[in-house]
Amino acid sequence: MTRKLFGTDGIRGTANIEPMTAETALKLGMAAGRHFTRGSHRHMVVIGKDTRLSGYLIEPALTAGFISVGMDVVLLGPLPTPAVAMLTRSLRADLGVMISASHNPYEDNGIKLFGPDGYKLSDEDEIEIEARMFNGLESFRVGSDHLGKAKRLDDAVGRYIEYAKSSFPRGLRLDGLKIVIDCANGAAYKVAPTVLWELGAEVVPVGVSPDGFNINKDCGSLSTQAMREQVVAHGAHLGISLDGDADRLALSDENGRMVDGDQLMALIGDLWFRSGRLTGGGVVATVMSNLGLERYMTARGLTLFRTNVGDRYVLERMRRDGFNVGGEQSGHIILADHSTTGDGLVAALQVLAALVQSGRPASEVLRQFEALPQLLKNVRAHASVLETAAVKAAISAGEDRLLGTGRLLIRKSGTEPLIRVMAEGEDADLVNVVVDDIVAAVTQAAMAGAAG
C-alpha cells in the first residue's frame, strides 16, 4: 500500500484546494488523533503554524478534528517547525502538527506530523492514517462528555528561545558581532532576532513583518539578495536567511557571498570531530552533495554517507547508524544532539560559535573546501524516457567521460514529471558538455514519445 496524500514532507498543496482544504484537515485531525490515542491517559496534540493567511483555515479545522476524537489541543501560534518538534517532546504530547509549506509562496500550505518522540512519522504511520481518513471516521467520534479541549500555550515563544540559546556553547557570547537575520516573513520572525540579540549580537532584521501574503516573497533562504545587500550596507560580519518555517538556512559571509549546506556540514562536522563530539565516523548527506565535501571528509579520516534526496532519508540513516551531523546541500542541517529535525537557527548558532572561537572573518571560516564545478538541469519528461536506448547511450557516454574525475547523477523528481540531470567534475567545460548531451537526448526521447 502506498501513500496518496502524504509526500516526502507531509501533505502539501494550494490552500483551499484539495488536499489542502478544511474538509481534509478535519478528517486528518480525526484520523491522526485516533491513531495516536493509545493508553488510558488524557491525550494531547500541539499545533504550530507559520504566517500564511491560510493557517487560519487549516488550524481550526485540525483542532475540530482532534477535539471530536477526544484529544486536547495546545495551540502554539507562529513558531518554527523544529520548535513544534521540541515542544511535542517537552510537553509529553502524543502528536505534534506544523502547518506550513516551508519555502513555498503564500498560496500553498502544508501539514507535517510529528510523533511523541518529536520525529516525523514513518511511512507506515502515514499509510495507516490515510486509511483511517477514508474508512469509518464516524466511529472515531467520542461522546459529548469526552470531547477534547483547546488552549493556547502563552509561553511557547519563550520556551523555544531558551531552547535555541541552550544549544550555543556555554561561556561563549556574540558580543561585537553584527548579524543580518532574514526571517522570510515566516515562522521565526520573533524568535530568531531575539535569540541572537540575547546572546549579545547587534542584529539587523530582515523579513520580520509578516502580513499573511509576503512569506518567502523576495526574502528567505531561496531569495537572498535583500539579506546580502544588508550585510554589505551595514558592514555585518555574517548574514543568515531562514525559510518560511525556519528548518533550513542559507548563509552569507561579510562580503555578501553565499555559502551552501555542504560547507556548513564540513565546518560543523570538523568542529565536532576535533572536539570529540562527532559520532558515526562521518557525516550523512544526500546524493546531491558536492564531491568536494566527500574529499574533505576523506582527508580527515571521516566518511560522507549519502542517501536519497530528502531530509527524512538523511535522518533515517542518522538514527539507524548513530550519526549526529547530517543534512542537505540546500541548507537543511540536522544536528541530532540538539534537534529531531532540521533547525536553521540552531545550525546558524553552531556556525557562529566556530566564528567566535576562530576570531577570523566569515569568508575564511565558512569555506572549508573548494567545491567542484556542479551543474543541474531539469527536463520535463516522464521517467519512461530513461529506458530508451538513446538516453541510456548518452548516460553511459557521460559516465565514461567523467570516470575518475567526477560523477553523474540522473534521477526522476518525486513530485512532478521531471528528469533531473546533474554532473560534477574537475573540468567545468566537460561537466557542461556531459549535462547538455544527456539533456538533449532526454528531450528528444520525450518529444518522440509525445509524437508517438
DSSP 8-state symbol, 120: B
User: Dihedral sign, CA of 410, 305, 270, 337?
Assistant: positive
With contact defined as beta carbons under 8 Å apart, do 189 and 51 qualify?
A: yes
SS3 for 329-357, per residue? CCCCEEECCCCCCCCHHHHHHHHHHHHHH
Nearest to 114 by CA among 76, 159, 64, 157: 76
**Three-state SS at 426:** coil
Host H or E run for residue 117: none
- What Rg, from alpha-carbon coordinates, does the chain have? 23
CA distances from 389 to 4, 7, 386, 394 (A): 32, 31, 8, 9
Give the bridge partners for 283, in sequence order.
304
pLDDT value for 415: 65
CA distance 330 to 131: 33
**Three-state SS at 47:** strand
Name the grid cell of 236. 555585518
Residues 6+ apart with CB under 8 A from 279: 322, 323, 324
With contact defined as beta carbons under 8 Å apart, do 180 and 239 qualify?
A: yes
CA distance 231 to 363: 13
pLDDT value for 451: 72
- The burial of 310, by beta-carbon neighbours within 10 Å (0-12 exposed, 13-18 middle, 19 or more buried), is given as middle
Q: What structural domains and CATH numbers belong to the chain?
A: 11-154 (3.40.120.10), 159-258 (3.40.120.10), 259-365 (3.40.120.10), 374-451 (3.30.310.50)
- For 276-313, the DSSP string reads T---TTEEEEETTS-HHHHHHHHHTT-EEEEE-SSHHH
CA distance 439 to 436: 5
pLDDT value for 40: 85
Nearest to 446 by CA among 404, 417, 408, 410: 417
pLDDT value for 414: 67
Nearest to 135 by CA among 35, 219, 260: 35
- For the CA atoms of 257, 355, 287, 398, the dihedral, rounded to the nearest 10 degrees, stands at 50
CA distance 63 to 66: 5
CA distance 212 to 393: 49
Name the grid cell of 141. 467520534
- Which amino acids are annotated catalytic? 102
Buried b (16+ CB within 10 A) or exposed e, 112-122: bbbbbebbbbe
* In the block, residue with C-alpha cell 495516536: 36
Q: Report the 10 Å Cβ neighbour count for 7.
A: 15
**Three-state SS at 223:** coil
CA distance 192 to 253: 18
**Three-state SS at 41:** coil
Scanning 167-213, the segments in alpha helix (DSSP H) are: 191-198
Host H or E run for residue 122: none
CA distance 263 to 157: 30
DSSP 8-state symbol, 11: E
CA distance 270 to 325: 10
CA distance 79 to 114: 15
CA distances from 358 to 33, 362, 429 (A): 48, 10, 36
With contact defined as beta carbons under 8 Å apart, do 325 and 316 qualify?
A: no
- The pTM (predicted TM-score) of the whole model is 0.92
Per-residue model confidence as pLDDT tens for the chain (452 residues): 567 899 878 999 999 999 999 999 999 999 999 999 988 899 999 999 999 999 999 999 999 999 999 999 999 999 999 999 999 999 999 999 999 999 999 999 999 999 999 999 988 999 999 999 988 898 999 999 999 999 999 999 999 999 999 999 999 999 999 999 999 999 999 999 999 999 999 999 999 999 999 999 999 999 999 999 999 999 999 999 999 999 999 999 999 999 999 999 999 999 999 999 999 999 999 999 999 999 999 999 999 999 998 888 999 999 999 999 999 999 999 999 999 999 999 999 999 999 999 999 999 999 999 999 999 999 999 999 999 999 999 999 999 999 989 999 999 886 678 999 999 999 999 999 999 999 999 999 999 877 76
